[in-house]
Structure 1
Amino acid sequence: MVKMGFLSLVAVLCCAHLAYGEIHSMKYFYTATSGIQTFPEFVTVLLVDGQPASYYDSNIRRETPRQDWMKNAVDADYWDRGTQISIGDEQSYKANIDIAKQRFNQTGGMHSVQNMYGCQWDDETHVIDGYDQNGYDGEDFVTLDLKNLRYIATTPESQLTVNKWNSNPGQLAYDKQYYTQICIEWLKKYVEYGSSTLGKKVAPEVSLLQKGPEVACHATGFHPDAVMITWKKDGVEVDDDVDVGETLPNEDGTFQKRSVLTISPKERTKTQYSCEVTHKSGLIEKILDEAELKTITPGSGQAPVGIIIGAFLGFLALIALIGGAVWYKRRNPGNGFVAAKTGENSSRSSDEA
């Protein structure tokens, strides 16, 4: 099984519509931690088309809207119901960490339990897909193969869970119904609720930033999230010595992305390098020359090229910092249960882990 990091997964799910049309997505992220004092012990986030729609953590202990369109689309009871569900999820996830530590024969230390699940829908081809990734301590644990309707174990410790889940035809049938029908129905509703915001088109602002031999082509403030950044040398695409970052959300609902080219000042004088940013709003090209280049100097307060994340949302920073590349889930109160939301604060069915 090929492992995919959290941000890489977001990039694939969010940005595929550059080539294949308008793909809408709904993703839930659950993260529980222990032994990490500077972060909430439990966080849940709902993303719709890459934008945070609702949020809960163990510090605020309240399900809250993150978009005006989400707040206005539902009644006040929606947030009360969501709060109660998230409080229950919080307790379950804390228990999950203890169970996982027992499975892996661990005692103290820093640990994380995570789950990412959701669905996507192409409004042009009507192709749908669903995904459910589970992990423990930043390593794959269980992943859903929706096409073959089975769960895949990636460690010996997860085989017992997978055997039980795959031997429950009723739960598998529900999972198929959830990912192919229920989740898609709620995704379409959320897209309709937020059409004025999710459908907006904002061109990126593009800057060339230099720190030593690294030159970053940084695009920010764009919407929708699909963007492609390409470096060219005398008009020919360059792949070597290029590090393409992930598409990250800004707090205002727009997105940012960067691509870093490592090149010596001497090499820049020999040939012409340019950066092309392709977005739904159009094509932007920046020629790499001194007039366009901004230098980042140590101690200036500017972000280093390798960490240009702007106003990156706290929940994503949390996931990245604790190694949230993959996800982990259990399904029974006291024995590992996650009440995953399906919309309107309801919970998915569960079975014994």
Structure 2
Amino acid sequence: MKTLLLLLLLCHVSSPVLHSLKHFITASTGIANIPEFVATVEVDELLVGSCDSHNRLEAIQDIAKKFSTEYPERFDRYRQQCFNVMPIYISCTYDLMSLFNQTGGVHVLQEVDGVEWDDETGEVKGFAQFGYDGEDFMKWNRKNFTWIAQRPEADIVRPIWDATELLREFYVGVLTQIYPEQLKKSVEYGRSFLLRTELPSVSLLQKTPSSPVSCLATGFYPHRASLVWRKDGEELHEEVDHGEILPNHDGTFQMSVDLNLSSVTPEDWTRYDCVFQLFGVKEDIITKLEKDQIRTNWVKPSNMTVLVTAAVVVLALILIGAAGFIVYKRRKVREKKERFHYFDFSL
């Protein structure tokens, strides 16, 4: 599953006119306080809706909310479709548990399927892949409409899936006709939202003086973007760590790339810069590596800190002295009282 998702992300960076429709489906057992079934839909990497076995169907992005208002009958049909497939995935989870000789515990069945559409060439590619308990299980072969087993246990299931004509017709239909039509309609319906461009704010962050410097770009759209460190104008591939592209709550995205400066002298910092590139925008955002531009939580000791520390020490000494003086006075009073008790004033 991880390999498939990584390839999909790479495709989005390399193909500037690629749109996608993806369904993420999870069925689980033995996990308290979460639904047995959860399905989500993404268009161009944006989460637009979800449904689950708690009878919840939610339109998340504004385009989905607008769609549900303008076309309530279609929205209800999607709800019905979601609840119709729900028992199938839950049942399949228990079938896989039996295949793996599992009688209980936490087990998870996952599927990601959908299509990618190049609106310039018109090419459409459908995909479907299953995973079980965190490992790849079965993958759809779109060339001959069969299944590819991705682990030994799947070899037992593969002939059954290939021989099930209803299953084959379903995936051929949705991956070659229904999903492409839905994706094209979604892009057309939400064109002003999905085809917009938003530039990010770019910051340089560092936890401590010895930590890597992180270049963070947040608030950009669309998903197709790149962020790299350069030295003397050449992209760096060593001493850098690329983070994933992550969604923000407002429908934009963020990403970061770390640069290890442990072997770089301060004099060479000016040779480095961070470059953000966004699909559809000709000009790059270039951020020079300059010490005064780095934001950090680390506070450098200052003269004021030294003065405050000295004041605290002096105050502590005063308090200790005062406490000692109080003890001394109390001891004197006690000795005086004892001296008075020692003499007999009755005479």
TM range (shorter): 0.7 to 0.9
Q: Deviations over 1:299-342 (max 9, x none)?
A: xxxxxxxxxxxxxxxxxxxxxxxxxxxxxxxxxxxxxxxxxxxx
- Structure 1 residue 297 displacement after superposition: 5.1
Pick from 109, 115, 118: which aligns with 2:105?
A: 109
Pick from 21, 41, 62: which aligns with 1:68?
A: 62
- The letter for the 2-side match of 1:31 is T
Q: Partners in 2 of 1:90 and 1:171 — Cα distance?
A: 15
2:10 is matched with: 12
Aligned positions, number = 292
Q: Partners in 2 of 1:168 and 1:122 — Cα distance?
A: 31
2:18 is matched with: 23
Is 1:167 the counterpart of 2:163? The answer is: yes
Q: Is the 8 A contact 1:8 1:246 kept in 2?
A: no
2:321 is matched with: none
- The letter for the 2-side match of 1:69 is I
Which 5+ residue runs of structure 2 have no aligned equivalent?
Answer: 300-347
Cα RMSD between the aligned structures? Answer: 2.4
Q: Deviations over 1:217-254 (max 9, x none)?
A: 11111111111111112222111122212212112111
Closer, same or farther in 2 for the Cα pair 1:107/1:235, shift >3 Å?
A: same
Q: Partners in 1 of 2:169 and 2:7 — Cα distance?
A: 25
| TM-score when normalising by structure 1 | 0.75
1:47 is matched with: 42
| TM-score when normalising by structure 2 | 0.77
Is 1:191 the counterpart of 2:190? The answer is: no
Closer, same or farther in 2 for the Cα pair 1:81/1:175, shift >3 Å?
A: closer
Pick from 201, 224, 227: which aligns with 2:225?
A: 227
The higher-RCO structure (CA 8 Å, 6+ apart) is 1
1:87 is matched with: 83
Q: Is the 8 A contact 1:231 1:237 kept in 2?
A: yes
Q: Secondary structure at the match of 1:211?
A: coil
Q: Partners in 2 of 1:38 and 1:293 — Cα distance?
A: 42
- The letter for the 2-side match of 1:64 is E
2:258 is matched with: 260
For residues 1-353 of structure 1, the aligned pairs below 5 Å read: 4-5=2-3, 7-17=5-15, 21-37=16-32, 39-59=34-54, 61-74=55-68, 75-168=71-164, 171-172=167-168, 175-212=171-208, 213-264=211-262, 266-271=264-269, 272-280=271-279, 281=281, 282-296=283-297
2:322 is matched with: none
Identity of aligned residues (%): 37
Which of structures 1 and 2 has the bigger CA Rg? Answer: 2
Q: Deviations over 1:106-157 (max 9, x none)?
A: 2333221100000011111111111101000110000012123221001122
Q: Is the 8 A contact 1:142 1:158 kept in 2?
A: yes
Q: Deviations over 1:228-286 (max 9, x none)?
A: 11111222211112221221211211111111222227545434221111113331011
Q: Secondary structure at the match of 2:89?
A: helix
Q: Partners in 2 of 1:217 and 1:291 — Cα distance?
A: 14
- The letter for the 2-side match of 1:85 is Q
2:316 is matched with: none
- Structure 1 residue 25 displacement after superposition: 0.6
Q: Is the 8 A contact 1:64 1:79 kept in 2?
A: no
Closer, same or farther in 2 for the Cα pair 1:107/1:241, shift >3 Å?
A: farther
Q: Secondary structure at the match of 1:221?
A: strand
Q: Is the 8 A contact 1:11 1:246 kept in 2?
A: no
Higher helix share: 2
- Structure 1 residue 82 displacement after superposition: 2.7
Q: Partners in 2 of 1:87 and 1:177 — Cα distance?
A: 20
- Structure 1 residue 192 displacement after superposition: 0.9
Q: Partners in 2 of 1:219 and 1:41 — Cα distance?
A: 36
